[in-house]
């Protein structure tokens, strides 16, 4: 689809005046003239319109046969009278600008209300006409659209006028997307006549168009308007490269098409033979699109190792337009059956439309000579939406009206998802410079991705977004409580960049209750919240603002961590007594032999244990299956039968080592130690290993008041937000290596979990289950 310049025609007779043979005025009386006028009016079915509106009316009638032309005529007469005497920099009467803008919108298929607002869009800004007068003459809807595109005065806002004007337009677009559609058409006509501006102004306007308006046109899906804006900006900012690319296009257009046109005819015949009704055409690339292809060609070396030059297939693609959705896949089947498809080039935007309503099947096939041709397949409705975006959806219904959902639209045309997110964060940036920087940064991504949560929710994110951005898109509270993520079934770091089509689960800590003690006294418990490092991972402005707001409201403070028991819990022994205690383990055949409980596996009743003789006549007691004990047996140490004494107590108390596997988050250490002490258990030592991406490992040696307290302690640790596995480590199996010193005091690194392991679900998240699953009862 090509948008014509639409210059108004003046001095031409209207179709009503051309009807019939003219007769001298004196031959008709006044009554006859009146009857003839009424007859002409009834014959044409519409009122007479000014000559300058005739081209516009013809185009508008093609899309809206029942349009109210009288309303258009009134709007034109008011605009023409208001702008009378004003000139553009080109020297043309100013009314040519609103007429040209309205013609662009008419060619896009915009409704009558939009065209009326377009004719009047500069009257309030540049003439004596007031917004109240526009509303009184044409209604509040037209007045709202005119007000939305009216610039703010530099007298009031100074250098911030442009940024604040765009903010105002975006807010208005949030309620009616037609505001931005009119603005885009207005900018397109201004860019068409940009040659009349000063060079410095040309560069400034072209950069704003490139950074803000072209991305907005892309997000609204108005591809025909976006393509022309891109070409004009390219010609303005990079005239030499534009001239070279344009010369290539002109040279190709002057040669016979020996590739794409014959292939289009061949494909059309193939589809006709299979009974698929389709229109197959060659769709030429516009200048910027071709330039991008040529850059890729130059960057990729050819078979001879040199950069590749342009190929005939680079200048266009095949467009196949069918009637039904099912026909799209029928065409795809024929293409992939008769020609060789290129792996990785197939994209299905029919089943999963893009964020800007775009739907098509994309594929690329290799012809007999090895030439690769790109093919687009879509229905007629998809083609209309792909060309004109939200304009093809028609005017939004009044608030409260019942709308018939169109399954093909897949969005709310009045407020697309990306626009809602943009409007949310713009309220948090009152500074115009900060708003402008944030706006250009948010629009910088030339595409968006779709991520699906494990609960089935679809998230639209800008390309390059991370798990942090996805968490805050689900809600600010979800983002604050986020402690990890799972992407495509695997735990991953919060900094992981998401890809289109990823399956995501956001893991969150449970909402804490009660109060906690800090250096400032007791305060209500609250989620750990984001860490400052998250700002480096946030790509969306909404996530950054939410994190910055949290950090500002929660200055860093050291939590008061109590390692002793909580109120009402028994305290562990404060010191070791010198009284003689019965041995915890009895050794068969060796009464009174000194016993040492191995530190590698920290056995406690009722663990199954086995003894091994060590130096000095003592016996080292290991849990059955401990790798350290198995190495001692392999070294020739005899196994001794041992059993727990009912009243026996180790000299150092019932010590046990526990390992907690968790998702790393702030205050995890404080919460774990608090949970341990709340069970009346003293902490002898603690070790925190450096985090491995998302996960962290804490190892604690604790002193139990009694062995029966172990299962409850492990369950309490597992309830801490972020902890997904609690186990009792043993010495690692070193493949039969000799046990150091042979005394059962193995201090080697962490091993794998053994018995008493508890795995379970301790986090709330957008998905099905947390890592680990449930492993059964303890012991």
Residues classed as catalytic: 125-126
Dihedral sign for Cα 344, 347, 351, 357, please: positive
The residues, any chain, with a CB within 8 Å of residue 664's CB and separated by 6 or more, are: 483, 484, 691, 694, 695, 696, 722
3-class SS string, 577-640: CCCCCCCCEEECCCCCCCEEECCCCCCCCCCCEEEEECHHHCEEEEECCCHHHHHHHHCCCCCE
Half-sphere exposure in the Cβ direction for 180 (13 Å, CA) = 33
Distance CA 729, CA 685 (A): 15
The residues, any chain, with a CB within 8 Å of residue 695's CB and separated by 6 or more, are: 491, 661, 662, 663, 664
Dihedral sign for Cα 578, 579, 582, 587, please: positive
Contacts of 275-279 with CB under 8 Å at 24 or more apart are 276/322, 276/327, 276/330, 276/331, 276/334, 277/322, 277/323, 277/327, 278/320, 278/321, 278/322, 278/327, 278/331, 279/320, 279/321
Residues paired with 698 in a beta bridge: 660, 688
Distance CA 393, CA 593 (A): 89
Alpha helices in 370-431 (DSSP H): 380-388, 417-426
Instruction: Please say whether the beta carbons of 297 and 311 come within 8 A.
Output: yes
Chain length of the chain: 779
Distance CA 496, CA 289 (A): 31
Instruction: Please say whether the beta carbons of 685 and 725 come within 8 A.
Output: no
Distance CA 244, CA 247 (A): 5
Burial 244-263 (b: 16+ CB within 10 A, else e): ebbebbeebeeeebebbeeb
Burial class of residue 611, CB neighbours in 10 A (0-12, 13-18, 19+) = buried
Instruction: Please say whether the beta carbons of 451 and 504 come within 8 A.
Output: yes
The residues, any chain, with a CB within 8 Å of residue 621's CB and separated by 6 or more, are: 585, 595, 596, 597, 598, 603, 609, 610, 611, 642, 744
C-beta neighbour count of 165 within 10 angstroms: 18
C-beta neighbour count of 368 within 10 angstroms: 7
Q: Is 249 helix (H, G, I), strand (E, B) or coil?
A: helix
From the CA atom positions of the chain, what is the Rg in Å? 38
Instruction: Please say whether the beta carbons of 506 and 765 come within 8 A.
Output: yes
Burial class of residue 720, CB neighbours in 10 A (0-12, 13-18, 19+) = buried
C-beta neighbour count of 765 within 10 angstroms: 23
Distance CA 380, CA 395 (A): 20
- Residue of 388, 389, 379, 393 lying closest to 331 (CA atoms): 379
Residues paired with 364 in a beta bridge: 374
Distance CA 751, CA 740 (A): 16
């Amino acid at each position: 689809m090509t948008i014509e310049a639409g210059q108004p025609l003046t001095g031409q007779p209207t179709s009503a005046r051309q009807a019939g043979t003219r007769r001298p005025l004196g031959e008709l009386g006044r009554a006859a003239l009146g009857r003839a006028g009424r007859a002409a009016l009834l014959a044409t079915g519409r009122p007479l319109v000014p000559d300058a509106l005739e081209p516009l009316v013809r185009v508008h009638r093609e899309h809206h046969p029942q349009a109210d032309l009288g309303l258009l005529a009134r709007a034109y007469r008011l605009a023409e009278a208001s702008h009378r005497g004003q000139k553009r920099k080109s020297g043309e009467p100013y009314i040519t600008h609103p007429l040209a803008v309205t013609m662009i919108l008419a060619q896009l298929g915009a409704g009558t209300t939009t065209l009326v607002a377009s004719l009047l869009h500069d009257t309030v800004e540049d003439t004596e006409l007031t917004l109240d007068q526009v509303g009184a003459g044409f209604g509040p809807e037209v007045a709202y659209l005119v007000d939305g595109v009216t610039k703010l005065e530099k007298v009031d806002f100074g250098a911030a006028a442009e940024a604040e004007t765009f903010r105002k337009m975006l807010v208005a677009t949030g309620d009616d997307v037609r505001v931005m559609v009119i603005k885009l058409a207005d900018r397109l006509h201004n860019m068409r006549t940009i040659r009349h501006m000063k060079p410095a102004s040309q560069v400034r306007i072209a950069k704003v168009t490139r950074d803000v308006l072209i991305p907005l046109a892309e997000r609204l899906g108005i591809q025909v308007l976006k393509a022309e804006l891109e070409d004009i900006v390219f010609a303005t900012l990079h005239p030499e490269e534009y001239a070279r690319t344009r010369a290539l296009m002109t040279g190709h257009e002057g040669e016979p098409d020996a590739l794409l046109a014959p292939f289009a005819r061949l494909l059309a015949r193939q589809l006709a033979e299979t009974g698929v009704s389709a229109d197959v055409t060659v769709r030429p690339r516009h200048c910027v699109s071709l330039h991008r292809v040529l850059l890729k060609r130059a960057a990729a070396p050819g078979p001879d190792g040199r950069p590749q030059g342009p190929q005939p297939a680079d200048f266009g693609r095949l467009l196949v337009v069918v009637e039904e959705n099912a026909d799209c896949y029928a065409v795809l089947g024929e293409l992939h059956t008769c020609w060789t498809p290129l792996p990785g080039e197939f994209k299905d935007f029919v089943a999963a439309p893009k964020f800007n309503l775009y739907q098509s099947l994309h594929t690329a096939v290799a012809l007999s000579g090895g030439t690769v041709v790109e093919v687009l397949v879509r229905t007629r409705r998809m083609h209309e939406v792909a060309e004109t975006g939200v304009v093809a959806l028609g005017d939004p219904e009044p608030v409260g009206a019942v709308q018939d959902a169109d399954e093909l639209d897949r969005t709310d045309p009045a407020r697309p998802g990306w626009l809602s997110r943009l409007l949310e964060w713009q309220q948090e940036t009152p500074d115009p410079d900060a708003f402008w920087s944030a706006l250009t940064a948010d629009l910088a991504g030339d595409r968006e991705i779709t991520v699906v949560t494990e609960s089935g929710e679809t998230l639209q994110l800008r390309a390059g977004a991370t798990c942090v951005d996805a968490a805050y898109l689900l809600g600010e509270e979800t983002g604050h409580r986020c402690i990890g993520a799972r992407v495509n079934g695997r735990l991953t770091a919060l900094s992981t960049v998401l890809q289109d089509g990823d399956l995501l689960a956001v893991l969150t800590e449970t909402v804490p209750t009660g109060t906690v003690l800090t250096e400032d006294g007791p305060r209500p418990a609250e989620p750990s919240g984001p860490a400052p490092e998250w700002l480096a991972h946030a790509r969306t402005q909404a996530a950054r603002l939410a994190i910055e707001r949290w950090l500002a409201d929660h200055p860093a403070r050291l939590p008061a961590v109590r390692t002793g028991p909580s109120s009402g819990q028994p305290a562990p022994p404060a010191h070791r007594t010198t009284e003689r205690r019965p041995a915890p383990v009895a050794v068969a055949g060796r009464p009174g032999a000194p016993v040492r409980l191995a530190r590698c596996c920290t056995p406690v009743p009722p663990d199954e244990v086995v003894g091994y003789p060590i130096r000095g006549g003592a016996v080292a007691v290991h849990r059955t299956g401990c790798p350290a004990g198995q190495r001692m047996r392999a070294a020739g140490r005899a196994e001794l039968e041992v059993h727990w004494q009912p009243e026996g107590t180790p000299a150092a108390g019932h010590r046990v080592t526990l390992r907690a596997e968790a998702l790393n988050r702030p205050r995890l250490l404080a919460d774990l130690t608090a949970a341990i002490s709340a069970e009346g258990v003293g902490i002898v030592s603690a070790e925190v290993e450096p985090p491995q991406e998302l996960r962290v490992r804490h190892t604690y040696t604790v002193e139990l008041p009694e062995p029966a307290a172990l299962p409850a302690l492990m369950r309490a640790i597992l309830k801490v937000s972020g902890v997904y596995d609690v186990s009792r480590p043993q010495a690692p199996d070193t493949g039969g290596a000799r046990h150091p010193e042979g005394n059962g005091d193995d201090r080697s690194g962490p091993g794998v979990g053994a018995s008493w392991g508890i795995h379970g679900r301790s986090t709330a998240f957008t998905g099905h289950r947390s890592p680990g699953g449930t492993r059964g009862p303890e012991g």
